Structure 1
Amino acid sequence: MRFLPFYSSGLEDSYGNSDSLKESGSKKRVRSGTCASDSKAHREKMRRDKLNDRQTHSLSPSLFLCAWFQELSSILEPGKQPKMDKSVILGDAVRMVVQLRDEAQKLKESYDNLQEKVNELKAEKSELRDEKQKLKAEKDKLEQHLKALNSQPGFLPHPPAMPSPFPAPHQVFASKMMPYLGYPGIPMWQFVPPAAVDTSEDHALRPPVA
């Protein structure tokens, strides 16, 4: 009878451990069930994606062509209802391509013309620069020449070493009579008759003296 409490406590411990094991096992089963459900949902999603891909690839090429033509029609005429007639859409596309090619050719020609004009302007600019350099060089030469002329002294006659015994004619004239400056000198040959001025017959009328 003394050993009954011991045995009873041991039994209670064993029963308690068994209950804890049951609880842990139930938790593990819940976790494993959650993981299994997640993996199952993932597999289901993958299966649906594969089915969608198969359905997409199994569509006929005509549907793809129709979708492509509708997209092309919306590009050619944005803002309008897409056309369904393939021949009309192809005609519009060809016309648009030809128009774009013509515009590209015109733009290329205009670019070439502009480039040619730019080259001509560059050539004219270089010619003007050369002419400017030449004019500047000529200007420098003229300035140097003017400086050289200005640096030379003016012409002054040297005085005679000995006084002249006879006065100069203008001095004699000045000493005898001063001209009246109010009336300028008039040449007299205009009052001579033309026959006296004519010298065409001098060799006959007045032969040279031997």
Structure 2
Amino acid sequence: MIPTPSRSRPGPLPGRVLGLLLALAVLLLAPGPAVASPAGPETASAPPRAAGFAAACPAAGYISQYYSWEHNGIDVANDYGTPIHAVGDGEVTISGYEPGYGQWIRILHPDGTITEYGHMYQRDVRVSDRVRAGQQIALMGSEGQSSGPHLHLRVWGNAGASVRVDPIPYLAERGVDMPCTPGSGPGPALLVYPAESGRVVSARSADG
């Protein structure tokens, strides 16, 4: 009698084989790789540049000359005696006479920038005065190297007065579009003090 092989149930799979099968199942069930967008990864938009202060309109008038490398500011032309206002809060560091500027004023603002105002016929503030945005500081004139009544507005980007800045974008970043009308828009209210109190710095004295 020829013996027949016995049929038995298969035994458990070896551990190595079982591990390979489990790894294959994980790969088959895992989601595919993310497809990059044609526009590239999304990035948060850069926040708008924070201005140092909310500015006030310096003077009514039209722009008779714009900023350039040959002209270090902008000229706002209007009639003699047109009020000139401080662009922002700050301290008066210069108020006096200079041959090119005529009567001129320099204001240092808390954010470290400087605004200068030239060719005035009358100055209403002295050195060390603290002024507010929108405060009247002078009256428009045509002193110094000037061919007609206007405000020469110059801006420095640092307290050391060594970095020139175009006044138009400087003001726009602070809420004032040139040309402008003093007292209009959301900016600071106009302040007539100290002119209404009778305080006037002589138009010819160089007290700064």
Question: Do Structure 1 and Structure 2 share a fold, with TM-score over 0.5?
Answer: no
TM-score normalised by structure 2 residue count: 0.18
TM-score normalised by structure 1 residue count: 0.18
Return the structure number with greater helix share. Answer: 1
